[in-house]
A = this chain, B = another copy of it.
Amino acid sequence: MADNNDHLVQSQDPDHPANLIPDLCKRFFHNGWCTGTGGGTSIKKDNHIFIAPSGVQKEMMKSENIFVVEFPTPKYPPSERKYIRKPLDLKPSACTPLFLAAFERGAGCCIHSHSQWCVLVTLLVEKMHGKDACFKISNIEQIKGIPKGPGKGMLGFHDTLRVPIIENTPFEEDLTGALEEAMEKYPDTYAVLVRRHGIYVWGDTVAKAKTQCESLDYLFQLAVEMHKLGLPWLKE
């Protein structure tokens, strides 16, 4: 690691993860998903995981700010993770083990958003149905933008989208256990909401993770507005 492997984040290819992550983070910032250094994004390419750092202004990130981990790697403890590039002036993302949990299940990209619509739906679900309930919505066209489960095609218009919700913890790393439990309990899900916090969304590819995150955010926003207007989320 003498030269800190700078070549790993230097590429002319706009589709290289080191270029895609800053581009995506800028877009997500303008969606309100990662203001105030919140949120994050990670991409897997071959046996390398590229991760946006902690605490940076996401809309101003640069390729040189990106961490690279060799995959597979231990989720815990951080000191055992096989970092092959670590920008010296930055801290690795506290989301790292959560991103790794998605990659262990075959994801190609994982997005963490602090969208307010996520926070609001987790609170509305708790208020209406209690802590154990997941978010459910059906009979909205945009549901068709979410997969039914790995290898099962996309949800249909009449299907019910279910997104599990886990409780937040003081330290983001400590969400990993609950996230993995939710992944086991809902093996078809590509997203887990975190109450009072945001969401983790992953996908087979960067495009799928991004468009699934957009479709989910659309549905959460719609759900909040439907609630304000007295319109139920499930067709009666």
The chain A residues found within 8 Å of chain B, CB to CB, are 32, 35-38, 57, 114, 116, 119-120, 123-124, 127, 139-142, 145, 156-158, 168-170, 194, 196-198, 207, 210-212, 214-215, 217-218, 221-222, 224-231
Contact = CB atoms under 8 A, between A and B. Distances in A.
Q: Closest 4 A-B residue pairs measured CB to CB?
A: A36-B215, A141-B197, A36-B214, A36-B145
Given A123-B231, A157-B169, A116 B36 contact: no
Nearest to A140: B196
Contacts of A120: 222, 225-226, 229, 231
Contacts of A36: 142, 145, 211-212, 214-215, 218
B114 A37 contact: no
A118 B196 CA distance: 20
A37 B142 CA distance: 9
Given A57-B211, A114-B218, A196-B139, A229 B123 contact: yes
A36 B191 CA distance: 15
A31 B221 CA distance: 14
A141 B224 contact: no
B156 A170 contact: yes
A43 to B, nearest CB: 16
B222 A142 contact: no
B145 A119 contact: no
Contacts of A123: 226, 229, 231
Contacts of A156: 170
A103 to B, nearest CB: 22
A215 B35 contact: yes
Contacts of A207: 57
Given A156-B170, A157-B169, A170-B158, A141 B38 contact: yes
Nearest to A35: B214
20 contacts: A32-B218, A36-B211, A36-B215, A37-B145, A37-B215, A38-B218, A114-B141, A116-B221, A119-B140, A120-B222, A120-B226, A123-B226, A123-B229, A123-B231, A139-B168, A141-B197, A157-B169, A157-B196, A158-B170, A224-B229
